[in-house]
Structure 1
Amino acid sequence: MIVKKIKNRKSEKSKSWQIGDLVDYIRFPHNKNPQEKIEYAGGRNFCSTTHAGQKIEMIALARESVHSAMPVQHWIFSWREGEQPTREQVEEVVDMFLEKMELAEHQIIYGLHHDTDNYHLHIAVNRMNPETGKVVQPHRGFDIREAHKLLAFIEHKQGWASEEKALYAVLENGELVRRRIRGGERKPKQPALDFEHATGEKSAQRIAQERGYDLIKNAGSWAELHEKLAGVGLRFKKKGSGAIIFVGDIAVKASSVDRAFSMGKLCKRLGDFEEGMYPDALGKIAPEPVSSVNLKEWKAYRDAFVGSPDKAEAAENVELARMKERHRMERKTALSRLAGYGLPVLNIARHCLMVQQRAERLSLRSGRKKARGGKPRFEAWLRAQGLSRQAGHWRHRAAFEQTRHSPPALQRIAEEAIAMRELEDFRRYAEAVNAERYRVTCIKMDEDGGKKTFILDKKGGLTRGFSPNELEAHLPEMLRFQRRGENIYYTPLSDERHHILIDDMTRDSLKKLQEDGFRPAVVLESSPGNYQCLLTIPKLNTEFDRDVGNRITERLNREYGDKKLCGCIHPHRAPGFENRKPKHRRDDGSYPQVKLLFAERRECGKALALTRAIDREYAEADRERRARPRFIPSARPGDPARAYYAHLDNIRRHLTIEDYSRVDAMIALRMRANGHSREAVEETIRACAPTIRDAQTGRNWQRYAERTADYAFGPAGDGDLMRNERYLELWRRVEGIEEVERSQTRTRIRQAMKP
C-alpha cells in the first residue's frame, strides 16, 4: 500500500469551490473521468444523510475558520495491483485513520475508486473541530510520517502487501519499527518519481543527485564546488535565503538533493556564500533514460514526441519570462518611491502589487488553449503500439533491471568460506527445530535505542520465509549485513507445529525449566549469561490454535523468561551470528557470538499437555459465553432497560456484532420510534451500554450516551427513521408493545363493566 497527502494547488479558488469540487469528485468520480468507478462511499460526523447536505455542512464549518486558507485535507490510500478491499476493510481503514490523526469527531467524506489496476481510497477530512471551533494540526504538522506508521499497522492488521521501500514495518509481536533502506539509497521526491514513471526520462532531481551529490559533499570551498559542478553541467545559485541547482534550465532545490546541502548548512561548512563563474556554453542537458528496460522503445517514444517541441508552449514560456522581468522592475520602481512613507504603507503596497501581478500571471497561463492529443504516458504509448508485453515490463521494471553492484567472484568465494561455520550452526539448528520455513529479520540498533528493520525474504511486499535450502544460499548476504552492523534474527514458521520461544532466561531459570519437565529442542546463549530456548509442540487443529499458542508462550515466559513476551510467532537471535546490541560491544570493538548450546529434534510432552489444558479452558469459556443470557429480564413490560436488551437480542440474531457503538445507535433509534423519551433513551444507554462490553474502557459513558441520543433524536435519526419505516411494526413487536396495549385495553374494559 501507499499513502499520499494531496497538496492544495487551487488556492486562488474560494473555500466553497475547492471543498465542493473535492467531495463531488470523491462521491461522483465518473463526472470527471468516465473510466473511474465508485465502489463504496461514506461520511462521518454529519447531521445530514445526503451528499448535498453533507457538502453544505462541511463548507459551512470550514468557512468558520479565519486563520486557515483550507482546513480540509485530501488523503489517498492505494492498494497494490490485484488487491481489492471489502467495505468492512475500508471502514476499518477510516477508523484507524481518524484515530491515528486524532480527528475522531471531525467531518469526513470518503470513497473507494477503481479506475486503473489499483483500488484507491480518497478521504476528505475537515480539520475544523466542530466543538472548539479551532483548526487541528495533526501531530504538529508531521502527519505524513504518522500516516506511514498507520500504513504499516493497516498492512499488518488486514494482511496487505507493503512496498519494497516502506518506511515502517510491524513485527510479529506488534512492535512498530523503522525499516532500514538497503545501501542508504537516495531517491527523488514523489513528484519527480511520477514524472520518471510517466516519461521514462530521468528527472532533474535525480540527475542533480547522481552528478552533484559527491561533488558538493566533498567540496572544500565555494570555488571548488562551483568548478566541479560546472564540469558536470550543473550550476549552483543562491535564491533568497536558500539555494538551487540548475540542471540545464530546470531549477532543483539544493536541500532536495540532500538535507545537508541547504544554504545555512553549507555556509557553516564553507563560509559565507561566494558566487561562481559558469561558462555560457553550459546549456541544456540531454535527456537520459531512467531504466535500461525497454530502452529501444523509449528512444522511439522520444523521437515521436519529444523531438517536436510545442511552439505555443515555448512562446508562452518566453512571454512569461518577459512578464516576470517587467514585474520585477515594477516592484523595484514603485516600492522605492514609497519607502519614505514608513513600513506600514510599504507592506500594504507590497501586498497589493503581489496580488495584481499574480492575477496577471494566472490570466496568461489560463488563457493558453491546451493542445488536444498531447504526449501520452510511456506505458500508454506502448500499449497503443500493441506492445503490451513491453508495457508490463515497464510497469514492473524493478524486477527486470539487472543487479548493478554484484560483488566480484573472489569476494564471493571469501564470503562463502567465512560462512561455513554459520552454515554448520544453521544446519544443526534447522534439524532440531524442524520448521518448514524460516523468516529472516535484520535489525539495526542505534545507540539511542532506535531500531531500523527489514525482512530479508520479503519480495513484492509479501513474506513467506525461506526454505532451509534457500536460507543457506542467502548466508553470504546475511554476513554482509552483519558486517554493516545488522542483528540477524530467525522466526521458524510451520503449519502443523508451534515453536514456542522462551526469551531472556538466566542460567537458574533455564535449569528450573528443565527440572520442571520441559524439554527444549534448541538452547541458545544470546549473550554472556543470557539464554533463549525453543520448545516444539504439535498444533491441536482446533479453532483456538492461535490463541492457545500465544497463551502458552505468555505463561512460560512469565514464569521462566521475558514477562513481556506473549506472541507465539516471535523472532529470536540467529545462532552463529553476533549480538550487535550497543551495550554488548567490547573494548576492542567486537561483539559476542550467539552460541548454539544444544540442538535435538524432539517435541515437549509437558508443554503439549499444558496446551491441551489451555485449549479446554478456551472451549469451556466459549460454551459459557454462548450459554450466557442475551438480555436481562425486567419487572414490567415497557421498561427502557428491558427494551434495550430485547432489541440487543433481536440484533444479535440477525447481525454479527463488530461495533457496539453502532448497535447502541440502532437501539436508541428503535426506542425513539417506539415512543421512549429522549431522557429515557439517554439514561438507558448510559446504564446498559457498559454491561454488554467484554472489557471495560475509560470511556465517559455520560458523554457517550448524550452523543447517541443526539443522533437518534436529531436530523440524522429523522432520515434513518424514514428509510426504515417498514420496520416500525417489527420494532414494536420486539418490545411487546402490542401485547401491553391489548392488556391495558382489557383492563380498561373490565373496569368499565364493573357496577
Structure 2
Amino acid sequence: MIATKIGKKSGVPDNYTRLGEYIAAAEEKGEKLHQFWIRNCDAGTNIEDLGLAILEIEAVRRQKPDIADKTYHLVVSFRPGDQDKLSKDDLMVIEAEYAKALGYEDHQRVAGTHINTNNFHMHIAFNKVHPETLKVVTPHRDFKILAKVSREMEKKYGLAIDPGMTDGQKRDPNKLSPAARDYEAHTWQESFQRHVLKHREEILEGLGKAKNWQEAHEVLARYDISLKLRGNGLVLMSPDGQAMKASQLDRSCGKNKLEERFGVYEALPDKQPRKELHHAKAKRRYKLRPLVPHRNTATLWRRYLNRRKVMPRQPSLTARTMRNWKMFLLMEATQDPLAMALIMAHREMLRTLQVTTIAHISSRQLGPGLIQIQ
C-alpha cells in the first residue's frame, strides 16, 4: 500500500464538492467505482446520500471563510491482487485507521475505491474543519503517519509490503522527480534530469576525483551542467533553466557533503565565461531530443527543429506550439499521417513508463469542473 496526500494545486480553488462528485463518479477513462461510503454526516452513509452530505459538509466549511485549503485528499494505492483480499468492511477499517492517525476521526469525509485494470486505489476526501469545534486540522509530518498506518494495515490483512520513505529503504537514484515527469508529459521531450541520470556513473566518478570547487564545476560542465546555490542547497542546472537538486544525483552531491570536501561553496569565477565552459568543453551536451525513439521520428523531428529556428520569440500560441514537440505533433496530425503514427507510439510507450498510480493521480488538477490528465 502506498498512501499519498494529493496537495492543493497553486491557483486552483479548493472545491470539495467537485472532489466528492469525482470520487463517486470514478469518471477517469477505464475506471469504475468499486465501493463508496460517507462518514460523520447526518445526511447518511451511502452514495444516494452524497448530495445532501456535500451540502452539510459545505455548510461547515463556510464557517471558515478565511481558510483557503480546507480539504485533505488522500489516495491509497494497492498492489494487484489486494482487491480480492479486502471486503468493504476491511476497506472501511483501513480508511478509519488513516483518519484516526491523521486526527480526522470525527471529521466529515467521503471515501471510495476505484478499479482501473490492476490499479486498485482508494480516495478519501477529509473536511479539515471539525464539524463541532470548527478547528482546522492540518497534520504535521504526515508522511510518517501514512507510512506507519500502511505498514500496520499490510500486516493486519496479509498484503504485500510497500516500503515507505520512512522505512530506511535505499532510494532509487534513477527515479525522476515530479517536475521532470511533468516536463516530459507536457513536451514528450527528454528532460534535463533524465540526461543527467543517463550519465550518472560517469559524473560521480569525475566528481569523486575532483579536489576543489573549480574541478567540480569543470566535471559537470562536460555534461552541460551548472552547479548553483538555491535556497539552502545546491542544484544542477541546464542551459535552458531546468534544474534538479544535486542530492538527487547522489547523496554525496548534497551541499553539506561537498562542503565537507571542498570548503564553503565557490561559484565559477566571473573571469571564466560560463558559455565557454559549458559548450567548448561539453562532451555530453544536453540537447533537444524526443523522449520516445521511433523509426519514423527523424523526418518530423528535423521539420520541428527547423520551424523552431525561424519562429519569432513572441508569446503567441503558434510560437509556444513550435517549442513543444508534443503540441507540434498534435497540430501536424491533421495533415500528416506520420505524425499520428508517432503520437500513438508515444502514448503507448509512455503508458509503459508510468511508475505508479500516484504519479498519474498527482498530475491531475481537481478544480471547479476541471480534471486535467496527462
TM value normalised by structure 1: 0.36
Change (3 A) 1:81 1:248: farther
Matches within 5 A, 1:281-680: 281=279, 284-285=286-287, 299-300=293-294, 303=297, 307=301, 309=304, 318-319=313-314, 371=330, 380-381=347-348
Please say if 1:21 is aligned against 2:18. yes
Change (3 A) 1:305 1:107: farther
Change (3 A) 1:243 1:190: closer
Displacement of 1:100:
2.0
Q: Secondary structure at the match of 2:99?
A: helix
Change (3 A) 1:34 1:239: closer
Partner residue of 1:235?
226
Displacement of 1:25:
0.8
Displacement of 1:104:
0.6
Displacement of 1:109:
1.0
Change (3 A) 1:222 1:34: closer
Change (3 A) 1:379 1:303: closer
Change (3 A) 1:149 1:225: same
Change (3 A) 1:233 1:312: closer
Instruction: Pick from 176, 197, 217 the counterpart of residue 226 of structure 1.
Output: 217
Partner residue of 1:75?
74
Q: Contact 1:106/1:129 (CA < 8 Å) preserved in 2?
A: yes
Q: Contact 1:188/1:205 (CA < 8 Å) preserved in 2?
A: no
Partner residue of 2:121?
120
Q: Contact 1:4/1:75 (CA < 8 Å) preserved in 2?
A: yes
Q: Contact 1:220/1:270 (CA < 8 Å) preserved in 2?
A: no
Q: Contact 1:195/1:203 (CA < 8 Å) preserved in 2?
A: no
Partner residue of 1:47?
42
Q: Contact 2:94/2:153 (CA < 8 Å) preserved in 1?
A: yes
Q: Which AA in structure 1 matches 2:192? A: A
Q: Secondary structure at the match of 1:157?
A: helix
Q: Contact 2:184/2:191 (CA < 8 Å) preserved in 1?
A: no
Instruction: State how far apart, in whole Å, the 2-side matches of 1:370 and 1:66 are.
Output: 45
Partner residue of 1:2?
2
Partner residue of 2:358?
none
Q: Which AA in structure 2 matches 1:186? A: P
Partner residue of 1:92?
93
Displacement of 1:264:
6.8
Partner residue of 1:191?
178
Partner residue of 2:263?
270
CA deviations 1:66-97 (Å, max 9, x no partner) are: 66421212111112234314212211211111
CA deviations 1:513-557 (Å, max 9, x no partner) are: xxxxxxxxxxxxxxxxxxxxxxxxxxxxxxxxxxxxxxxxxxxxx
Instruction: State how far apart, in whole Å, the 1-side matches of 2:73 and 2:249 are.
Output: 27
Change (3 A) 1:150 1:3: same
Partner residue of 1:57?
56
Q: Contact 2:114/2:122 (CA < 8 Å) preserved in 1?
A: yes
Instruction: State how far apart, in whole Å, the 2-side matches of 1:305 and 1:153 are.
Output: 54
Q: Which runs of 5+ in 2 are unaligned?
A: 317-326, 334-339, 356-374
Q: Contact 1:46/1:54 (CA < 8 Å) preserved in 2?
A: yes
Instruction: State how far apart, in whole Å, the 2-side matches of 1:252 and 1:34 are.
Output: 32
Q: Secondary structure at the match of 2:4?
A: strand
Change (3 A) 1:152 1:12: same
Instruction: State how far apart, in whole Å, the 1-side matches of 2:74 and 2:312 are.
Output: 32
Displacement of 1:146:
2.0
Displacement of 1:229:
0.4
Q: Which AA in structure 2 matches 1:279? A: K
Q: How many residues align?
A: 317
Instruction: State how far apart, in whole Å, the 2-side matches of 1:315 and 1:24 are.
Output: 47
Q: Which AA in structure 2 matches 1:284? A: Y
Please say if 1:208 is aligned against 2:196. yes
Q: Which AA in structure 2 matches 1:229? A: L
Instruction: State how far apart, in whole Å, the 1-side matches of 2:194 and 2:179 are.
Output: 8
Q: Contact 2:184/2:190 (CA < 8 Å) preserved in 1?
A: no
Report which of the two has the higher share of helix. Answer: 1
Q: Contact 1:236/1:243 (CA < 8 Å) preserved in 2?
A: yes
Partner residue of 1:252?
244
Displacement of 1:105:
0.9
Q: Secondary structure at the match of 1:91?
A: helix
Q: Contact 1:192/1:205 (CA < 8 Å) preserved in 2?
A: no
Change (3 A) 1:193 1:160: farther
Q: Contact 1:243/1:253 (CA < 8 Å) preserved in 2?
A: yes
Instruction: State how far apart, in whole Å, the 2-side matches of 1:48 and 1:21 are.
Output: 18
Q: Secondary structure at the match of 1:245?
A: strand
Q: Contact 1:208/1:247 (CA < 8 Å) preserved in 2?
A: no
Q: Secondary structure at the match of 1:4?
A: strand
Change (3 A) 1:74 1:189: farther
Displacement of 1:251:
1.9
Higher deviation after alignment, 305-314 or 46-55: 305-314
Change (3 A) 1:112 1:187: same
Instruction: Pick from 249, 272, 279 the counterpart of residue 275 of structure 2.
Output: 279
Instruction: State how far apart, in whole Å, the 1-side matches of 2:72 and 2:257 are.
Output: 32
Instruction: State how far apart, in whole Å, the 2-side matches of 1:310 and 1:28 are.
Output: 43
CA deviations 1:315-367 (Å, max 9, x no partner) are: 9995469xxxxxxxxxxxxxxxxxxxxxxxxxxxxxxxxxxxxxxxxxxxxxx
CA deviations 1:238-274 (Å, max 9, x no partner) are: 3466543124532223344456655577557532532
Displacement of 1:158:
1.3
CA deviations 1:382-441 (Å, max 9, x no partner) are: 69xxxxxxx88x789xxxxxxxxxxxxxxxxxxxxxxxxxxxxxxxxxxxxxxxxxxxxx
Q: Contact 1:4/1:76 (CA < 8 Å) preserved in 2?
A: yes
Displacement of 1:122:
0.8
Partner residue of 1:158?
157
Instruction: State how far apart, in whole Å, the 1-side matches of 2:305 and 2:289 are.
Output: 17
Q: Contact 1:29/1:38 (CA < 8 Å) preserved in 2?
A: yes
CA deviations 1:202-249 (Å, max 9, x no partner) are: 753354352545555664432122111001221223346654312453
Change (3 A) 1:212 1:316: farther
Instruction: State how far apart, in whole Å, the 2-side matches of 1:133 and 1:227 are.
Output: 57
Displacement of 1:55:
1.9
Change (3 A) 1:202 1:302: farther
Instruction: State how far apart, in whole Å, the 2-side matches of 1:136 and 1:379 are.
Output: 43
Partner residue of 2:111?
110
Q: Secondary structure at the match of 1:279?
A: helix
Change (3 A) 1:143 1:319: farther
Q: Which AA in structure 1 matches 2:146? A: A
Displacement of 1:369:
12
Instruction: State how far apart, in whole Å, the 2-side matches of 1:260 and 1:67 are.
Output: 44
Q: Which AA in structure 2 matches 1:123? A: I
Identity %: 23
Q: Which AA in structure 1 matches 2:294? A: A
Q: Which AA in structure 2 matches 1:73? A: Y
Displacement of 1:370:
11
Partner residue of 1:35?
30
